[in-house]
Structure 1
């Protein structure tokens, strides 16, 4: 007998498929939702970090801004202070210039006029002497080659040795000859040439030279050099040549050139001492007009400042250029702060057999 077939149940298979598909759909949906949540969570974290970084930068920028404002305020205060000081200095300069204008009214033209009048007077006096041949007048003048009118007993010096057949005068014309104090030297050296020529200290030096030339012995010879960074003859073209002291024209010319020469530059005394041995024959008397120790021993230097020890060393080097048997007569003018100068120049005069003279403000 034929076996009866079991009927095929379609419903049960479709149900299982539906269940599987539905479960898979649920899992897929859950996975999609979970992924979106993670992405959303990561993005705010990155944004927060970026925000904090920007906040830190803003804070640092504000600090820098505050510092910059404080610095600007400090600079403005310093600027105001500096402007006030500059105004005070300018006012002081104007005040000093006004004071100079009050006390120094001489001009270069007035100096020339005085020189011309002095020349005319001397010419007339010489003519009177020649015509009248008065013995009394010759005796009064004695051995003087030039006339110098001083004030009372300031016309002579005790102890100064002016004898000798050949006299060499060395005149310091460095910037320190403009004044006795450092601050006034700095102030005057930046002034015009006319103001430098009117400096009381320099005019006193020129007057001293004028007095010295009036004391030369008849028949003697002389030479005059001025020195700052270098030494040069006062009379142009007379380098290495002895001049006749009997020639009043040359003596007047030397004083006139000095009166029109302005002090400037440093003090190289070594160059002045080298002149001594360059003259043939050597001088038998040296007159040195200075106000302090040298500031250099070469024509040029890179030093901005010079110590007291250096200045003493420059002095020693300069003195070594001198022959040992020539007397040196020193005229030392006042200078602020150079305390070793009087002693060292006194030693120089003493060892050479010369004289040391500390010049007062009212001489000659």
Structure 2
């Protein structure tokens, strides 16, 4: 009987190996399934935690954005508030400065007002004193002159002296303030010439001066154009008593009858002034322009400004010294040098100078 051949990979061996391999696989499957279940459980918890953390992160990001926006808005509000604070501070400083200035001005005004009150009280006392003196002297004036509306005027021209001369320009230029109107009025009838506004002002000025004459003084009224004549011819070279109401009134009435005409000779007036005996101690000169001739008529029909100044100087040189000459000037068109010349005359002689308004006296 033949012996059987031994084979390493026999059926039994393969069965054993298959069973072993299947057992290993079974064990692996059992172990791997438990691990997967455990891993799945672990992953599920971690995933939940991750999702929760992601949600918190997202929520945090949203909250952070809102917080950042709130911070930016707050920063802008703070900047705006600071800007407003600076503006308010500047405005407040300005208001404080203005208040300080207003307080200073108020104090200055109060001080000025108090000063004005003090001055007013002083003036009222002066008025009361003058009224008392006027009441004492009531009835001492021979003539009375009241301006329009019963006004009183402060001229700085004191009417005083023992012998008072009122010298009035009665040349044609006293008809008006302009050369054209002088020529027009010179060709009108006598009634219209006497009614000329400038001449009526001249008459009113003479009346005003005569009303201010002291009762214990003497006077003379001389009208001059190319000649110089007293209003009352019989009083030539002498004086009339102010207390003589008839003489004063007659002189004024005679003056009102004059019609301005001819040129202006201030030199002839100076000669007539020197012929008065005794000499005046106060002269009131009513005039409107520089002289147009000397003691004689000029050769030509016109006189230049330089010639008129020369005639003025010649006339002034013939006025006796130490006699105040008070000038009342009614300015004439085209004679700009007159005001300065007569102002010099008043200052040099110790008199006063006024160029009154149209409604004076």
- Shorter-chain TM band: 0.5 to 0.7
**TM-score where L is the length of structure 2:** 0.61
1:325-356 Cα offsets, whole Å, 9 max, x none, are 01000000021111000001000000111000
Aligned position for 1:236: 233
Say yes or no: does 1:192 pair with 2:192. Answer: no
Q: 2: CA distance between counterparts of 1:299 and 1:237?
A: 25
- Counterparts of residues 96-111 of structure 1 (less than 5 Å): none
For structure 1, which segment, 247-256 or 264-273, has the greater mean C-alpha deviation from structure 2 after superposition?
A: 247-256
Correspondence for 1:62: none
The equivalent of 1:149 in structure 2 is 146
2:327 and 2:342 in contact (8 A); partners too: yes
Counterpart-to-counterpart distance in 1, 2:189 and 2:143: 32
Render the CA deviation track for 1:270-301: whole Å, top value 9, x for unaligned: 00011121011100000000000000002433
- Partner residue in 2 for 1:344: 341
Q: Which runs of 5+ in 1 are unaligned?
A: 1-134
* Unaligned 5+ runs, structure 2: 1-131
Name 1:212's counterpart in structure 2.
209
Write the distance in 2 (CA, Å) between the matches of 1:333 and 1:280: 29
Aligned residue pairs: how many?
230
> Is the Cα–Cα contact under 8 Å of residues 155 and 354 in structure 2 kept in the other structure?
no
CA distance in 2 between counterparts of 1:169 and 1:137 reads: 24
The more displaced of 143-152 and 231-240 is 143-152
Q: Which residue of 1 aligns with 2:329?
A: 332
CA-to-aligned-CA distance 1:299-331 (integer Å, 9 cap, x gap): 433320000000000000000011220100000
Aligned CA RMSD, in angstroms, stands at: 1.9
TM-score, structure 1 normalization: 0.61
Alpha-carbon distance in structure 2 between the residues aligned to 1:259 and 1:319: 28
Q: Distance in 2 between matches of 1:283 and 1:136?
A: 27
Partner of 1:252: 249
2:160 pairs, out of 153, 157, 163, with 163
Alignment of 1:58-207 (within 5 A): 139=136, 141=138, 143-152=140-149, 154-207=151-204
1:303 matched residue in structure 2: 300
SS of the residue 2:339 aligns to: helix
Distance 2:253 2:216 in 1: 22
Correspondence for 1:37: none
Flag as ranges the 4+ runs of structure 1 deviating above 4 A.
135-138
Task: Work out whether 1:282 is the aligned partner of 2:267.
Answer: no
